[in-house]
Structure 1
């Protein structure tokens, strides 16, 4: 909602002062930086608040009960006052509250503990943007119009009543989700109502107090009506990379910025294609290539619809139908790796960020003849599963940088069989490295005993450069022609799951 308001965003930065042993100052600063995103550990005071003129905000603490500046009071910012000595610093906000009053709000000071004998005094505006509130926060409000979700998210007795009783007339009540099964009252409250009825209104029937009694109503699954908070935060956290005039040298290539995810529908078995599409769409490098390079018009139009959310239900059919496709138009589960090769073959500019060069060396143990082949370009590092457990680097090293026996290979010098070893080395890479873990054996049955450890935080070192995992596609099932595909996309230190069986 904030992006729809006119004007320039205004950032309200907190002022922090530390009260601790000087020798603990550095430790305290680091501790605070790690927990700045969790306002529950900073006395409800955010490190940074972004607002605009006209933004709706809510107080997060009691300021002055006598004039209505209480916790959960909602209002609109109508004026921002800047400090005379520091023009870039906001000194106060004028807020028009829902009760009709206009108040000037200044920073307040809160004290909280970081660890033993280390405290922080934080000066910040005790507000948060508020275009929606929880049922708990809305207690005490009287509202003319309410849009509420009281479906499966209701988790305790009386919660639905609190929400429904906020609206002053039924004409102003709008329900996104409503589950009568979750409308429950506490047994103690029902017992008290029955006591009062018995005493004062014996003509009224008693209320049935049987616990967990389910009404005879059909179950209706909740309508997913908004993007999950963690999905929306991907754009905020990583869409604008930090840059400096003289960036420090680094051996690590971090994942490219991530686009806001959106769900793809799955008509006629499309999960293999949807998972592949989410992977390049999540990286700015590939989005730029699709927009500006000589790629299929269908792919470019699909990305435009994906970014702009022009279609309520978007699927991957247009990409599957790119000529000369025939195999991927069938209503049949497909190998996502084959579909990826098809997309890259028909859109050659997308291959450039994936290009890697592999050198191959073969040595015969009998005659000691060494044969070095030329450097072979490729776009995918294929990794046979030869170990049962290890890190991602262990699996890469099991296929590269180590000597492997070549069964059935005949030495061209001594003509002996099964005496030759081969070592494959990745000598050059591009911005991305595409790894394919060959999880199916020659009988096309899935290898189940494999376990990769530490994938979310691991790094893979190749060609002297550390790579972080940016996206991963998983197959759930027993065969390549059955099961389901999902795509996981990295967001900061976390991962988001793009699963077309659970659209968001």
Structure 2
């Protein structure tokens, strides 16, 4: 039996490891499963959490966290509450708090951006830093991927493989001088290279990065051109339930959209799939939507699940 309760939490200053919650009131709409015979009654998370953007720059962190919270392995990892970061993310999952400022501070490291600054940041950089911080837990097993370079010589028609590399984000690059609407598969084609073929020593080489993952793959559509302008290209022939990539089939679990002229300005939102229902997340405005936009308009990051 399930009962729905309307609850309100007033949070006072409370230290969890090195995370500090500031005074704030949060309204939650929570479903509690009363049929469970476990000592701890679990919360049933049926939609993304609403996250505030009072400082006008938290949208990049909000969209990434809302996207990851639809993954059950992410739930399992943060529910251990064995680190300050896990504690705060678990409270966001349970809708006890609705601010990501402490997450931004905890994710900041010596080799990453200062996400604690009151300044808009790149969602991809925050996404990678967050995964690296969570790497001590088993979530990293599911989100990491391996790439190797595929080389094809147009002169001797020989395919060779380059070295392997462990990655957290797989980058796809738009073709040069592409149209306003293109086939998504063109993002996966071989690109010209100025290197010499290791077999015939001719400069007629094409290359592409090939990816292999365990379950999830974070894909970044590199929308910044070499000239620094944003690429606003849309796609056709994109099937969110059947994405073929290097002999693997994926489906979309969430996407992060960027609205604006540069990645470190403008605004970020996300589209997230919870139990086969799509939701639009615009900070604290959570809206049920009927379908996924196949054109990938303004989409910057995709979280894919291997089928």
For the criterion TM > 0.5, the same-fold answer is: yes
- Going from structure 1 to structure 2, the CA distance change for 1:293 and 1:460 (only over 3 Å counts) comes to farther
Task: Spell out the pairing of 1:207-286 with structure 2 (5 A cutoff).
Answer: 259-268=46-55, 269-286=57-74
Looking at structure 1, the residues matched to 239 and 152 of structure 2 have their Cα atoms a distance apart, in angstroms, of 37
Q: Is the 8 A contact 1:276 1:336 kept in 2?
A: yes
Q: d(CA) in 2 for partners of 1:266 and 1:497? A: 16
**Residues 140-159 of structure 1: pairs in structure 2 closer than 5 A:** none
Which SS does the other structure have where 2:3 is aligned? helix
Partner of 1:357: 146
SS at match of 1:434: strand
Tell me the residue number matched to 2:118.
331
For residues 365 and 465 of structure 1, do their structure 2 counterparts lie closer, same or farther at Cα, with a shift above 3 Å needed? Answer: closer
The offset of 1:466, in angstroms, is: 2.7
Q: Could you say which residue in structure 2 is the equivalent of 1:403?
A: 190
Q: Deviations over 1:349-369 (max 9, x none)?
A: 333212233332323334556
Aligned to 1:317: 101
Q: Distance in 1 between matches of 2:74 and 2:28?
A: 27
Mapped to 2, the partners of 1:258 and 1:460 lie a distance apart of: 27
Residue 3 of structure 1 pairs with residue 3 of structure 2: yes
Aligned residue for 1:424, secondary structure, equals: strand
- Going from structure 1 to structure 2, the CA distance change for 1:453 and 1:369 (only over 3 Å counts) comes to closer
**Distance across 1 between alignment mates of 2:252 and 2:267:** 21
CA distance in 1 between partners of 2:147 and 2:186 (Å): 15
Query: CA distance change for structure 1 residues 478 and 346 in 2, over 3 Å: closer, same or farther?
Result: same
Post-superposition Cα deviations, 1:5-31, rounded to whole Å, max 9, x if no partner, equal 9xxxxxxxxxxxxxxxxxxxxxxxxxx
Helix, strand or coil for the counterpart of 2:171?
Answer: strand
Count of paired positions: 249
Q: 1:477 to 1:414 in 2, by over 3 A?
A: same
SS of equivalent residue, structure 1 residue 301: helix
Q: Is the 8 A contact 1:298 1:319 kept in 2?
A: no
Conservation of the 8 A alpha-carbon contact between 1:476 and 1:484: yes
Picking from 208, 228, 244, the partner of 1:461 is 244
CA distance in 1, matches of 2:171, 2:117: 27
1:280-429 aligned within 5 A: 280-292=68-80, 297-311=83-97, 314-322=98-106, 323-324=108-109, 327-348=114-135, 349=137, 350-366=139-155, 370-386=159-175, 388=179, 389-390=181-182, 394-395=183-184, 397-400=185-188, 402-406=189-193, 408-412=194-198, 416-417=202-203, 419-426=204-211, 428-429=212-213
Instruction: Find the aligned partners of 1:258 and 1:468 in 2 and give their Cα distance.
Output: 21
Shift of 1:410: 3.5
How far did residue 300 of structure 1 move? 1.3
TM-score (norm 2): 0.68
Return the alpha-carbon distance in structure 1 between the equivalents of residues 237 and 76 of structure 2: 31
How many Å apart are 1:280 and its aligned residue? Answer: 1.3
Bigger CA radius of gyration: 1
Among 235, 257, 264, the alignment partner of 1:474 is 257
Q: What SS does structure 2 have at the residue aligned with 1:436?
A: strand
Task: Tell me by how many angstroms 1:347 deviates.
Answer: 1.8
| Structure 1 moving runs of 4+ over 4 Å | 224-227, 367-370, 412-416, 454-457
Runs of 5+ unmatched residues, structure 2: 7-25, 34-43, 288-307
Closer/same/farther in 2, CA of residues 317 and 225 from structure 1, 3 Å limit: closer
Relative to structure 1, the CA distance from residue 493 to residue 452 in structure 2 (aligned partners, 3 Å threshold; closer, same or farther) is: farther
- The alignment's C-alpha RMSD in Å is 3.4
The aligned residue for residue 196 of structure 1 is none
SS in 2 for 1:279: helix
CA 369–454 in structure 1, closer or farther in 2 if over 3 Å, else same: closer
Q: Deviations over 1:292-346 (max 9, x none)?
A: 386xx232111232233323xx211111111526621211111100111111122
Task: Tell me: CA distance 1:457–1:503, structure 2 relative to 1, closer, same or farther (3 Å).
Answer: closer
How far the C-alpha of 1:279 sits from its partner, in A, is: 1.3
Q: Mark the CA change 1:2 to 1:367 in structure 2 (over 3 Å): closer, same or farther.
A: closer
The aligned residue for residue 490 of structure 1 is: 273
Show the 5 A alignment for 1:168-187.
Answer: none
Confirm or deny: 8 A CA contact 1:266 1:501 kept in the other structure.
yes
Q: Is the 8 A contact 2:131 2:168 kept in 1?
A: no
**1:456: how far off?**
7.3
Residue 78 of structure 2 contacts residue 90 of structure 2 at CA under 8 Å; is this kept in 1?
no
